[in-house]
Structure 1
Amino acid sequence: MSLLTHVLACLFGMGSWVAINGMWVELPLVVPDIPEGWYLPSYLTVLIQMANIGPLFITLMHRFRPGTLDERPVIYFIVVLGVIATFLLTFFWNHTVTVGGSLHSVPLLVLSFLLSVVDCTSSVTFLPFMMHLPPQYLTTYFAGEGLSGLVPAVVALIQGVGVVHCENVTLSSNTTAINSTTAGSGELKAIYQPAKFSAQIFFLFLSAMMVVCLVAFILLNCHPAVARERKTNLYYDSDLQEKREQGVSLHAQSPEQKPMISLHETARWEPRSSFGSGTYSHFEVVLIFIVLAWVNALTNAVLPSVQSYSCLPYGNQAYHLAATMAAVANPLACFIAMFVPQRSLIFMGVLTLFGTGFGAYIMAMATMSPCPLLVHSTTGTAVIVLAWILFVLSLSYVKVIIGVILRDEGHSALVWCGAVVQLGSMVGAISMFPVVSLYRLFQSGDACNTKCPL
C-alpha cells in the first residue's frame, strides 16, 4: 500500500461534502446579515433535495446507457464548479436582490444550490471512481468523507461560531435589554460572542478545501505511484467481467478476490441474484440497500434536524461537545474499519440495531425538550453526549461495511450505493421538514434559562 495514495484518497473524500457541511456550521454568523434570517435552514433543506437532480441523471445514465458515462470528466466539472461557487460566496454571500417587492439573498441561494448539486452528485461519482484503486483505499476515502464534516466544524469552533455566555439582564420599560445587578432579576440572556474572523474568510477556506480536493483528484489520475496501484487492482469490474466470461467460478478465485461472507455458509440454498458478481441472494441485496437508506436517513437528516432540541436543554457546552465529538466519531469509525474490516451481514444488522437504539434515545430526549431526562444533572449531559458519539460511531461503521461489500460487487454497485445514500437522505429530510419547521412539534431549550421541575 502507498501512503501517498492513502493521503490523496482521504483528501479527495474530504471534498465530497465539505461545502454544504461548511454552510451549516457557519449559519450562526450568516443569518443575522441576510433577510431570510433563521428561515435559511429551511431554504437550504429544499435546495439540497432539489439538487438530487444531479445524482438522478447519473444513475439513469448508468441504468439505461451503461458504459457510456465516464465519471472522471463529471468529477472534474463538479469539483471545479465547487471551487468557483465557494470562491464567489466569499464576495456575494450577503448581497441582496429585490424580488417581488422584498429583499432576498439570491446570490447566496443560487450558489448554495450549485454547491448542493456538487455535493449530491459526488455520492454517485466519487465512490465509483474509487473502483480504479485497490479496495483498501475505499475505507480511507470514507475517512476523508467523515472529515468533510469534522474539519469545517473545528474551524468554526476556532472561529467562535455559536459561543455564548449567560448574563443577568432585566427588561426596561422600552423593552431594551440592559445589564442588571439588581437582586430581583433572575433572568439570564444568552450573549453571542463575536467571531475571531469573518464569514468571508471561512468561505475562502472552503474554496481552498475544494482546490485541495481537485489537486488530489488530479494526482490520483496522473501520479506514477497511483498509476502502479491501478495496474495491480484486481477488483476493477472489467477484471470481474473478464473472469465471468472465462467461466471462472467464485470458489476458484484467490482469497484476496473472494468476499468474506459468513452468512452464505448457512444459506447456500438461496438463489443468487443477478446483481454485481451474483454473490448475494435477492433478499440480501434488498436488505443491504434498505439498511443503507435507513442509516443515511438517520445520520444525514433525521437526527441532525433535532440535535439542538436534544442537547441544548443540557446547556450550550453539551450541545457543542455533542456536535464536535459526533463529527470526530465518523472518521474514527472509518479508521477502526481499516484495521478491523467486516463484511458480515449479521454483524451489519446487529450494529444497525445498536446505533438505531441510541438514535431512538436521542429522538426521545428531543421530543421531551425543553425538559428531557436528567436535565439538571451532569449525568444527563454525559449520557446525551455519549449517545451521540455511539450513534454516529456505530452507523458510520455500518456505512463502511456496506461500502466494502458493494465495492466487491463492481462499478455499478457503487453507483447504486451513492444513489441510495441520496435517496435515504432525501426521504429523511422530507419526513422531518414538516415536523420540525411547519408543525413545530419540537420545543427549543434555552441554554441559559432551563426551567424544569427537579
Structure 2
Amino acid sequence: MTLGNTTVKQTISTMSLLTHLLACLFGTGSWVSVNGLWVELPLIVPHIPESWYLPSYLSILIQMANIGPLFITLMHRFHPGVLNETAVIYVIISLGTVASFLLGFFWKDTAVVAGVPRSVALLALTFFLATVDCTSSVTFLPFMMRLKPQYLTTYYIGEGVSGLLPALVALIQGVGVVHCTNNTQFWNHTLNSYNSSVTFDLQAQYQPANFSTEVFFFFLSAMMLVCLAAFLLLNYHPDVAREHPSSRSTNRVKERSQKNRKWVEEKPMMEPSRPENHKHRSSFGTGAYSWMQVFYIFAILAWANALTNAVLPSVQSYSCMPYGNKVYHLSATMAAVSNPLACFIAMFLPIRSLLLMGALSVIGSAVGAYIMGMAALSPCPLLVHETSGGVIIVFAWIVCVLTLSYVKVIIGVILRDEGHSALVWCGAVVQLGSLLGAATMFPLVSVYSYFSSGDPCNTKCP
C-alpha cells in the first residue's frame, strides 16, 4: 500500500513538473520576439537608414500593434463566447514564428519611400511581431485560467525568461562590442615648412559578432516553435489535462469554490481598507474589491507597464552607454534576470497587500526617475568617469525592474482569482499603459531630441 502511494505521489510530482515546464515555455513565447529585437539593436542599427532612431520607431510600432488586444477585448465585452481563444493563440504563435523566420532573410532590405530609403521589410515584420506579442497579453493570460492558480506564476516566470534568454544569447553573440582605435592625423601648416601639428582622434569600431543577425532571428523563430509545441501539449497531453479544474469531479469543484468564497470573505481582515459592507463592493469579478480598489490596482498596473515596457527601454542606451559598453550590456542582462527573479520570488511570497503594492511602486518609480535623470544628462551623467557610477546605474536597473515586475505578478495573481474577464482586462490595461508610455517618449526621443548618446570614444566630460 505504501509502495502504491509512493508511486502515485511520484506520478503527481512528475505531472506537476511537466505542467510547470510547459507553462513556463508557453510564457516564454509571449514577448521573446520583441525583446529579441531590442537586444539586437547594436548589430541592426549600423546597417539600416533609420540608425539610432529605430528604438523610438519600434516603440510606436509596438503600440500601433495594440489594435490586436483592442479587438480581443471588445469581442470579450460585447460578444462574449464568440471568439475561440485557443484558435486565436494558434494563429498568433504561428504568425510570430513565420515573421521571425522572414526577418532572418529581409531585415536589411530597404525601399525608397517619399524619396528617402526606409527599412520597409524590417518595420513591417516588426509590426506583425508586435501584434503577436501584444495580443498574447489578452489571450495567454486568460488561457491560464484553465490550470491551477500556481501555474500562473510559472507563466509569469516564462514571460520574464522571454527577455532574459535573448539577452544571454546576445551576450554570447557579442552584440555591439566597441574598441576605440587611434586615428592620428598629421597636418602641415605651410607648404614649404617642416612645421606640422598632430591631431589625436579616437575612432569607434564595432567588432564583428560571433554569429550573424540572421542566425539570431532564426533562434527567435525556433523559440516561437517551442512555444507552439508547449501550447499543443498544454491542450492535449493527458497528464496536463488532469491539472484542468474542469476535468475534476463536481464535488471537487464545489469544494474549491467554497474555499475561494471563504478566502474572499476573509480578505477584509487581511486588507483593513476593504469595505465590509457588501453594498459598497463592486460588481467586478467576485466583488471582493471596491471600485476604488479596482481603479487603484489597474492604475498601478498601467503605470508599472508604462515604465518597464516603454519609458525606460527607450532611454536605456542613453542612461548606460556613457559608463561604457560593458555597463550597458551588464545592465540590460541583469534587468532581464530581475524579471523572472521577481516572478520566482512571487511564487513563494505572494503578498497580496495593496499597501505593499503601492510602496513597491513608489520605490521602483523613484529609482526609475534616477535612470531617467542619468539619460537626460547623457553623454555626461553623474560619476561618468567613476567605477561607482557604472555600479549605481546597474544596481538602479536591477532594483527598478525587480520591484515593478513583482508588483505586476502580484496584480496578475489577484486578478486571476477574480475570474477570466478580469485577466482579459489585465492584459488590456498592460497594453494601455505601454501605449501611453510610448506615446510620451516618442516625441521626446525622436522629435525634440532631448537625449544625446555622444561618441563612445571622443566625448569629453568635465
Please report the TM-score for the alignment, with normalisation by the length of structure 1.
0.90
Change in 2 beyond 3 A, CA 1:363/1:39: closer
1:264 corresponds to 2:296? no
Are residues 1:381 and 2:395 paired?
no
Q: Report whether the alignment pairs 1:397 with 2:411.
A: no
**Are 2:211 and 1:197 aligned?**
yes
Alignment of 1:146-157 (within 5 A): 146-157=160-171
Question: Are residue 428 (structure 1) and residue 428 (structure 2) matched?
Answer: no
Task: Describe how 1:221-232 pairs up with structure 2 within 5 A.
Answer: 221-231=235-245
Question: Which of 37, 51, 55 is residue 69 of structure 2 equivalent to?
Answer: 55
Q: Return 5+ residue gaps in structure 1 as ranges.
A: 174-181
Distance 1:263 1:431, change over 3 A: farther
2:458 counterpart SS class:
coil
Cα distance in 1 between the residues matched to 2:242 and 2:332:
40
2:109 to 95, 98, 103: 95
Q: Give 1:439 shift.
A: 0.3
Contact kept, 8 Å, 1:14 with 1:145, in 2: the verdict is yes
Q: Does 1:206 align with 2:220?
A: yes
- For 1:382 and 1:29, how far apart are their aligned partners in 2? 25
Q: What root-mean-square deviation, in Å, do the aligned CA atoms of Structure 1 and Structure 2 show?
A: 2.4
Q: Helix, strand or coil for the counterpart of 2:74?
A: helix
> What does residue 428 of structure 2 align with?
419
Aligned counterparts of 2:459 and 2:200: Cα–Cα separation in 1: 12
- 2:374–2:381 Cα contact (<8 Å) kept: yes
Displacement of 1:102 after TM fit? 4.7
Per-residue Cα deviation, 1:151-193 (whole angstroms, up to 9, x for no partner): 11111111111111222223577xxxxxxxx995553222110
Q: Structure 2 unaligned runs (5+)? A: 1-12, 188-195
Q: CA–CA distance in 2 between the matches of 1:355 and 1:171?
A: 48
How many angstroms apart in 2 are the aligned matches of 1:73 and 1:259?
A: 38
Distance 1:229 1:250, change over 3 A: closer
Q: What SS class does the counterpart of residue 70 from structure 2 fall into?
A: helix
Structure 2 letter corresponding to 1:35: P
Are the aligned partners of 2:186 and 2:197 in contact in 1 as well (CA < 8 Å)?
A: no
Shift of 1:259: 7.7
Q: Which residue of 2 aligns with 1:176?
A: none
SS of alignment partner, residue 420 of structure 1: helix
Change (3 A) 1:292 1:111: same
Q: For 1:137 and 1:250, locate their aligned partners in 2 and report how far apart those are by CA, in whole Å.
A: 17
The one-letter code sitting in structure 1 at the alignment partner of 2:362 is: L
Match of 2:57 in 1: 43
Residues 1:67 and 2:81 are matched in the alignment: yes
**Does the 8 Å contact 1:260/1:343 carry over to 2?**
no
CA distance in 2, matches of 1:293, 1:313: 30
Q: Does the 8 Å CA contact 1:150/1:328 hold for their aligned counterparts?
A: yes
2:358 matches 1:349: yes
Distance across 1 between alignment mates of 2:342 and 2:259: 34
Q: Which residue of structure 2 lines up, in the alignment, with residue 302 of structure 1?
A: 311
User: Aligned pair in 2 of structure 1 residues 450, 85: CA closer, same or farther (>3 Å)?
Assistant: same
* Structure 1 residue 226 displacement after superposition: 0.9
Matches for 1:159-174 after TM superposition, within 5 Å: 159-171=173-185
Aligned to 1:407: 416
Separation in 2, partners of 1:364, 1:404: 33
Aligned pair in 2 of structure 1 residues 302, 111: CA closer, same or farther (>3 Å)? Answer: same
Residue identity (%): 67
Q: Distance in 1 between matches of 2:415 and 2:266?
A: 10
Q: Report the counterpart of residue 177 of structure 1 in structure 2.
A: none
In 2, Cα distance between equivalents of 1:188 and 1:373 = 23
Counterpart amino acid of residue 117 in structure 1: T
Separation in 2 of the partners of 1:37 and 1:205?
24
SS in 2 for 1:229: coil
Q: How do 1:134-153 and structure 2 match up within 5 A?
A: 134-153=148-167
Distance in 2, matches of 1:100 and 1:358, equals 42
Q: Taking structure 1 as reference, are residues 362 and 96 closer, same or farther at Cα in structure 2, changes over 3 Å only?
A: closer
SS at match of 2:223: helix
Q: Establish whether residue 329 from structure 1 lines up as the match of residue 338 from structure 2.
A: yes
Give secondary structure in 1 for the equivalent of 2:180: strand
- In structure 2, what is the equivalent of residue 291 of structure 1? 300
Shift of 1:46: 2.4
Displacement, 1:310?
1.2
Trace 1:179-194 onto structure 2 (pairs within 5 A).
Answer: 185-194=199-208
The alpha-carbon deviation at position 97 of structure 1 amounts to: 3.5
What's 1:9 paired with?
A: 23
- C-alpha displacement of 1:145: 0.6
Q: Higher mean Cα deviation, 80-89 or 182-191?
A: 182-191
Distance 2:162 2:153 in 1: 14
Alignment correspondent of 2:322: 313
Deviation at 1:403, TM superposition (A): 0.4
- In the alignment, the residues of structure 1 paired with residue 281 and residue 291 of structure 2 have an alpha-carbon distance, to the nearest angstrom, of 7
Stretches of 4+ aligned residues off by more than 6 angstroms: none
| 1:104 is the counterpart of 2:106 | no
| Higher-Rg member (1/2) | 2
User: What secondary structure, in the 3-state scheme, does the structure 2 residue paired with 1:165 have?
Assistant: strand
- Larger CA deviation: 279-288 vs 18-27: 18-27
Which TM-score applies when normalising by structure 2? Answer: 0.88
Compared with structure 1, are the counterparts of its residues 250 and 393 closer, same or farther at alpha carbon in structure 2 (3 Å cutoff)? closer
Q: 1:362 aligns with which of 371, 374, 382?
A: 371
- Structure 1 residue 232, shift from structure 2 partner: 6.8
| Greater CA drift, 426-435 or 312-321 | 312-321
Residue 231 of structure 1: how far off its partner (Å): 3.4
Judged with a 3 Å threshold, the aligned counterparts in structure 2 of structure 1 residues 202 and 172 are, in CA distance, closer, same or farther, namely farther
Out of 347-356 and 87-96, give the one that drifted further: 87-96
